Structure 1
Amino acid sequence: MNSPSSASSPRIIPRAEHAISRANISQNALKVLYRLKDAGYEAYLVGGGVRDLLLGREPKDFDIATSARPEEVNQLFRNCRLIGRRFRLAHVHFGREIIEVATFRAPHEIAAGEDEAVLSDEGRILRDNVYGTFEQDAWRRDFTVNALYYDIRDFSVVDHTGGADDIREGVLRLIGDPEVRYREDPVRMLRAVRFAAKLGFRIERRSETPLFELAPLLADVAPARLFDEMLKLFQGGAAVASFELLRHYGLFGVLFPATEATLATEVDGFPLTFLRLALENTDRRIAEGLPVTPAFLFATLLWEPVRLRAADLAHDELGELTALQIAAAEVTAEQTRSISMPKRFSLPMREIWTQQPRFAQRQGKRPLRLMAHPRFRAAYDFLCLRSKAGELDTELCEWWTRLQEADPEARQTLLDASPRTAKGRRRRRRSRARKSTPSDA
């Protein structure tokens, strides 16, 4: 089932035949559903929330589709805010939880007779702001597994597109012609990868084939939108699987061209080993409920281009830190042409990189000053990740670990016994030479 003409009526899955329980639905979402129903409107829980509940997972968000217009939703809820210009959405606020309520939409073809263009010459959707019917809303969604509706009136699940069967079989299938749908919105290619990685589903063959050819379309997507999609891909608990699928379909090279170029020249598994370790660490932290910062994530994804560029600059007789600072600025500027990064993430990312040479300075008060730096912990974790991947000797990471864990007396012993760098030895020789030279006085 992959077109509206192939189904005369939706499949209704009664409460006794599915696993969704109201006990697992946000109480605030239930409040919105019941109030819309009691006001005479159709109201359904829809999308990823229904999909995850059917899979026995805990949904991250609860979205609602309704026949009520945004203004009508706004009148029902004092805690409602309307957002969006081209297509109005209602956000019903319950403290920190937001329940998104969308009016049924029609496919963009419905607006094809209007004066303003609906599709670009390349097939990309320019406008998608036409209200529609319940059935039209289902068929305009992207994947069948995201087009399932939980009906609050009788607790059934309504399936227009065959999504229930695809969930049971572990299949990710686009609704409609896959190539057309990808051209309408190239970000759907990234969503296909994200859902396949997150759910452990296989992408259905017709939905998969265009992925190998249409990756260049992502170059025309707004860089800010791609940044948001990258966070969803790599901070959703399946970063390793997402990375492997992105590379498999040729999508990663469009998003991170400089990094992809370095992966073509691996040395002893580096930098691929480094990236996998970083992404495994990200998945582990998310599984443990620990925070993950985009600054650290992007620092790992772009480190190899920065490292190689800094090495080239160092041959021009620039100091190590200066070369690294220049390389960081250049690589960051190049990357933002593909994926933009807000300064609140790009600046800490560059600090993580430029702290790395300072870890070699283990004498005097410099280690203690470095430990007081606001970005020390992230830079230290980055250092140890480099050591674990084989880029650095593990002794350096181990020394800094011991320094942090030591009491004041043991810490001083470590500092006194720390190896001296060649630069430090030269500096001390010059200092002694100046002291031994008679003054002109």
Structure 2
Amino acid sequence: MAKITQPKIIPRPEHAVSRDNIDDTALKVLYRLHKAGYRAMLVGGGVRDLLLGHAPKDFDIATDALPEDVKKLFSNSRLIGRRFRLAHVFFGRDIIEVATFRASQVDENKNDIEVDRAHDDSGRILRDNVYGQLEDDVWRRDFTVNALYYDIADFSIVDYTSAMDDIKNKVLQLIGDPQTRYREDPVRMLRAIRFAAKLGFTIHHDSEQPIFELGHLLADIPPARLYDEVLKLFHSGQGVVSLQLLRKYDLLQYLFKSADDALKQGNEQFETFIHLALESTDKRINQGKPVTPAFLFAAMLWAAVDKLSEDLKQSGEPGTIAMQNASSMVLSQQVRTITIPKRFSMVARDIWQMQHRFKFRHGRRAKSLLMHKKFRAAYDFMCIRSKAGEVNDDSCEWWTRIQTLGPQEQDILLKPAKAKARKKKTASKDK
């Protein structure tokens, strides 16, 4: 993409971004920066989503004020980051991110530009704190649709990359040379997939071809960062589409190797199961219901845990011990790729280890299962397995029904089989 020196300015009457739809805290930051004499622009996904008629999740701000200037202007701010130094302005639990305009390259004749940039041998950016102006900053953005600036000074939109056309045509296109941009930050490949799934856009041919060649670069991304990206991919309300695109570009192997192996080996039951699990998650998200990363990880790793558990049982381990050991081994392998906080890995273990307990419908074991604090997650998991053809009995229907009963009726249904037989026998004698 050739650089445009003169941007297209879209005046307020010709675009759909309204201050009525911008968060009040973001407006406060914009106005204070502007009043102090700095350029203050809403940028990125917030502008994109407002133009598409969506409710933005975040409102990010770009300015020519240095991070230290922002810190002085806002007592409720904190400077963060080494790789990308920026300011967070706090309003209670809400955070507005303020970034200084960055330059795409260093001009040695400009003594006022602060230089702080570093790359590794593969081209990945380690640090990028070379500050510049708006006309520099735009070329450091990733995709054209994320490079629109809303200027609080006159409420216009500044477009250097023909992003308005890409939004109209529903095309996702990288700014600059795709090979270089993906090498600078391989996570951009995952972002391309996430935005394509979330927005219903197609990835421009020039931007998608390098993904097939450069996926291996994701192997060097820190597990903690991949954890964040995985949640964004699968908790966007478009998890099924995200999975389809990850498989299309052969990137799933760098996130969930065991799931990718099972799918490539033609495990149809697991393919059906994982699609049903993601459909369920998408439905909950789109209905505004809560979801937990534990369920996502439990689903993605289920094929590996189930197979290893069966192998361990075949080698002589008791069922419960086999499942415990399989869970530990699979999680231990997975966290080398993606960090899984303990509060979620423990719940995933509970979900897996409760699966065999659904066959017990009477006595204390059934009662304790129904009372388990993670029963609902394990029950949902089991019912999805049932729909996928993994569970061959009526467990889903039975455990669904018992949840509709009152405490006394539940106690009757859960009574030990021997007690029921004795009661039936006594009743027969009384007659």
Structure 1 length-normalised TM: 0.90
State the one-letter code of the partner of 2:345. S
Cα deviation for residue 3 of structure 1 reads 3.0
How do 1:9-408 residues align onto structure 2 when only pairs under 5 Å count? 9-107=6-104, 118-267=118-267, 269-393=268-392, 395-408=394-407
Aligned-pair distance for 1:275?
A: 0.4
Unmatched segments (≥5 aa) in structure 1: 421-441
Following the alignment from structure 2 to structure 1, what is the Cα–Cα distance between the partners of residues 61 and 171?
A: 24
Instruction: Determine if contact 1:3/1:139 at 8 Å carries over to the other structure.
Output: no
- Alignment check: 8 A CA contact 1:33 1:43 kept: yes
Between the aligned partners of 2:249 and 2:78, the Cα distance in structure 1 is 39
Secondary structure of 2:269's counterpart equals: coil
* 308 and 419 in structure 1: CA distance in 2 versus 1, 3 angstrom threshold: farther
Change (3 A) 1:394 1:34: farther
Identity in percent: 59
Between Structure 1 and Structure 2, how many residues are aligned? 415
Tell me the residue number matched to 1:426. none
- Residues 291/95 of structure 1: CA separation in 2 closer, same or farther (3 Å cut): same
Q: CA separation of 1:89/1:8 partners in 2, compared to 1, >3 Å: closer, same or farther? A: closer
Which deviations, in whole Å up to 9, do the C-alpha atoms of 1:247-276 show, x marking residues without a partner? 000000121111111112335x31111000
Distance across 1 between alignment mates of 2:270 and 2:43: 41
Closer, same or farther: CA 259–208 of 1 in aligned 2, 3 Å: same
Unaligned runs of 5+ in 2: 420-431
**Alpha-carbon separation, structure 2, partners of 1:53 and 1:244:** 27
Provide the secondary structure at the position in 2 that maps to 1:59: coil
Alpha-carbon contact 1:108-1:127 (below 8 Å) kept: no
Q: What is the match of residue 430 of structure 1? A: none
Q: Would you say the 8 A contact 2:218–2:254 is kept in 1?
A: yes
Residue 106 of structure 2 contacts residue 115 of structure 2 at CA under 8 Å; is this kept in 1?
no
Q: Is the 8 A contact 1:65 1:104 kept in 2?
A: yes
- AA paired with 2:97? E
Tell me the distance in 2 between the aligned counterparts of 1:125 and 1:69.
20
Paired letter, 2:197: A
In 1, Cα distance between equivalents of 2:192 and 2:318: 45
**Partner residue, 1:431:** none
Cα gap change, 1:360/1:66 in structure 2, threshold over 3 Å: closer, same or farther? same
Partner of 2:424: none
Shift of 1:342: 1.2
Aligned-partner Cα distance in 1 for 2:87–2:349: 38
Q: Which residue of 1 aligns with 2:422?
A: none
3-state DSSP of counterpart to 1:164: helix
* Mapping for residues 395-434 of structure 1, pairs under 5 Å: 395-416=394-415
What is the root-mean-square deviation in Å for CA atoms of aligned residues?
A: 2.0
Question: What whole-Å deviation, never above 9, does each CA across 1:203-248 have from its counterpart, x for those lacking one?
Answer: 0000010111111110011111101100000001110110000000
- The farther-off stretch of 120-129 and 410-419 is 410-419
Aligned partners of 1:200 and 1:390: how far apart in 2? 31
Q: Could you tell me which amino acid in structure 2 is paired with residue 254 of structure 1?
A: Y
1:374 alignment partner AA: K
The one-letter amino acid of 2:236's match is G
Q: Displacement, 1:116?
A: 8.3
1:376 offset after TM fit, Å?
Answer: 1.4
In 2, are the aligned partners of 1:387 and 1:397 still within 8 Å (CA)?
A: yes
Give the Å deviation of 1:327: 0.8
> Contact 1:33–1:64 at 8 Å: present in 2 too?
yes
Q: Give the alignment's TM-score, normalised by structure 2.
A: 0.92
CA contact 1:362–1:419 (8 Å) conserved in 2:
no
- Do 2:106 and 2:130's aligned partners in 1 also have CA atoms closer than 8 Å? no
Provide, for residues 18-51 of structure 1, a one-character-per-residue CA deviation record: whole Å limited to 9, x for no partner.
1111100111111111111111000000000000
Contact 1:108 1:128 in 2 (8 A): no
Q: Distance in 2 between matches of 1:341 and 1:41?
A: 41
Q: Could you tell me which amino acid in structure 2 is paired with residue 282 of structure 1?
A: T
Displacement after TM superposition at 1:100 (Å):
0.7
- Structure 1 runs (4+) greater than 3 angstroms displaced: 108-111, 113-117, 416-420
* C-alpha distance after superposition, 1:393-427 (max 9, x if no partner): 3510111112222123322332248699xxxxxxx
CA 1:96–1:115: 2 relative to 1, 3 Å: closer
Aligned partners of 1:169 and 1:126: how far apart in 2? 34
